[in-house]
Amino acid sequence: MDTRIFICRFALCIALLVPITAWGSHPLITDDTGTQGKGNFQLEVNGQADHDRDGGRTTTGGLMATTLSYGLIDPVDLIVTVPYLWIEHENGLSDVNVDVRYRFFEKDGLSFAVKPGLSLPTGDDDKGLGAGKLGGHLYLIGMKEAGPMTFIANLAYIRYETDLNTFEKNIWHVSVAGVYALNDHWKLAADIVAERSTSKNADNDPVSAVAGVIYSPTKNIDLDLGIKRGITSSATDWSLMAGTTFRF
């Protein structure tokens, strides 16, 4: 495989895995402090289709991720995400993520949580579908609910382990989001995300914005649709995002 093509595929793989969230806030990339409660489950099935043009070359790809969350106790969730990735002519299982979300503070609509996790090397790194080594991450999450508005912020450190010396291993990530509840069934969501580029050769760090809508026909089902637009040249130009969430 040509080195440039491999790097593009691998970078896209990593960029796609970061947005995987584990509650009903998809298509937002920013994660929140919500947990399922002891003994409760949440199942998410989210998809994303990407289109990027860089230096006269167009790259397309997509991701389908299934996430299962289980409430160990009221403020603690165990989360497993299984992603399936396709990029041009390659497709297959990508790196599985295992996370724990712990909400350690909650008062007057303000809450904080931490989410440590591991990225398991289950994807075929020769095809650009995974990193090839065990990785990890730690998210600090803050959320404030004020009437129909919810404000959320994430600050994270992500460790990418790979044999390729063209990739950064220490990545910072920051994002902020807002959700506005129109009524009991409809919500509008917006997000802006920035992080250090995974590529040492990138001209800048990727920054993206997301806008979307969430429809909840019942309190236990969410349907969502969103668009992600790259702001800087190193970010994927366009992504169409859609998902479903079931709580039981």
In the predicted model, what is the mean pLDDT of residues 183-194?
A: 96
In the 8-state DSSP scheme, what is residue 31? -
In the 8-state DSSP scheme, what is residue 15? H
Q: Which of 186, 175, 181 is nearest to 152 (CA)?
A: 175
Q: Which of 159, 172, 177, 173 is nearest to 23 (CA)?
A: 177
Domains of the chain plus CATH, in order, are 3-247 (2.40.160.40)
pLDDT of residue 6: 46
Residue that wins the pLDDT comparison between 39 and 160? 39
The Cα–Cα gap between 154 and 12 comes to: 21
Write down the residue that tokens 């595929």 correspond to.
9
Beta-bridged to residue 159, according to DSSP, are 136, 170
The Cα–Cα gap between 40 and 77 comes to: 9
pLDDT in tens, 228-246: 999 999 898 999 999 999 9
Q: Which two tokens stand for residue 245?
A: 């969430």
Residue that wins the pLDDT comparison between 2 and 59? 59
pLDDT of residue 69: 96
In the predicted model, what is the mean pLDDT of residues 29-55?
A: 93
Residue that wins the pLDDT comparison between 72 and 124? 72
pLDDT of residue 89: 80
Q: Which two tokens stand for residue 205?
A: 């760090």
The Cα–Cα gap between 168 and 234 comes to: 14
pLDDT of residue 160: 83
- Going through 33-160 in order, the beta strands assigned E by DSSP cover 41-54, 57-73, 76-87, 90-93, 96-107, 110-120, 135-146, 149-159
pLDDT of residue 201: 83
How many residues would you count in the chain? 248
Is 102 in contact with 114 (CB distance < 8 Å)?
Answer: yes
pLDDT at 19 over 50: no
Q: Which two tokens stand for residue 73?
A: 């106790």
In the predicted model, what is the mean pLDDT of residues 66-79?
A: 97
